[in-house]
């Protein structure tokens, strides 16, 4: 094997390791959050060593930022709702559609669902890395929460009121997405299938309508 061929093999190996680390980190952070997701567990799942995390990402924070960047791209590519779609619906239907989309991880285990679970963890275990990330580029799911909330607020609502309403709305589905495994155990013993998801969406929509209407 000549030097050029060796370089190509090394490059492919390097990219394979990098991709494996991002995939493993996405899974681990979705399960345990940024704080609970250890580099040791990530590297075990990726079948890599800790030095590879430092080499490719400069450490755990850099790896997390790469996962968040991937999440942002996935939301854009998979058309995680959009403002025009919501504007075509009544404000009540727009609210329901938003909640339904955010609660899909309860019955789906795809890549976008794992990203949503990571964001749900941030609602109770906020990290400095995530805070800095959304300050620079707010993910679409939060922009859409604001878009829905604004439809229930008076035109002269203050920026503070808009922020309060947006954060409140964004929190409604996060608890269920984040703690689905715990809620499946006693004393709750909740089982989420398609029918249960629809009932949960109906309930949260009704409660959220009352909450937003009272702002």
Q: Supply the CATH number for residue 166's domain.
A: 1.10.357.10
| Cis peptide bond upstream of 128, omega within 30 | no
Return the higher-pLDDT residue of 75 and 65. 65
Residue tagged 């309403």 (tokens): 165
Residue 82 gets the label, from left (phi > 0), alpha (psi -120 to 50) or beta, of beta
Among 16, 45, 71, give the residue marking a domain's end. 71
Among 71, 95, 116, give the residue marking a domain's end. 71
Q: Write down the pLDDT at residue 37.
A: 96
Shared domain for 19 and 108, answered yes or no, is: no
* pLDDT reading at 97 higher than 80: yes
Closest to 33 measured CA to CA, from 215, 181, 184: 181
Q: Write down the pLDDT at residue 10.
A: 42
Shared domain for 150 and 49, answered yes or no, is: no
Q: Write down the pLDDT at residue 215.
A: 64
pLDDT band at 104 (very low <50, low <70, confident <90, very high): confident
Residue 90 structural domain: 78-213
């Amino acid at each position: 094997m000549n030097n050029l061929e060796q370089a190509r093999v090394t490059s492919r190996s390097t990219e394979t390791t990098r991709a494996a680390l991002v995939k493993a980190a996405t899974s681990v952070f979705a399960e345990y959050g940024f704080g609970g997701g250890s580099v040791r567990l990530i590297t075990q799942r990726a079948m890599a060593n800790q030095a590879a995390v430092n080499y490719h990402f400069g450490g755990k924070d850099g790896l997390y930022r790469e996962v968040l960047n991937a999440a942002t791209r996935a939301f854009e590519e998979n058309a995680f709702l959009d403002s025009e779609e919501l504007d075509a619906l009544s404000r009540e239907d727009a609210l329901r559609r938003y909640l339904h989309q955010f609660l899909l991880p309860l019955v789906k285990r795809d890549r976008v669902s794992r990203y949503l679970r990571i964001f749900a963890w941030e609602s109770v275990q906020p990290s400095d890395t995530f805070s800095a990330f959304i300050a620079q580029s707010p993910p679409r799911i939060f922009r859409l929460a604001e878009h829905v909330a604004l439809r229930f607020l008076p035109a002269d609502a203050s920026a503070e009121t808009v922020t309060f309403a947006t954060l409140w709305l964004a929190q409604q589905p996060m608890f269920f997405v984040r703690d689905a495994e715990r809620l499946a155990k006693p004393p709750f013993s909740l089982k989420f299938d398609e029918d249960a998801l629809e009932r949960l969406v109906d309930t949260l929509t009704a409660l959220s309508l009352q909450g937003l209407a009272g702002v």
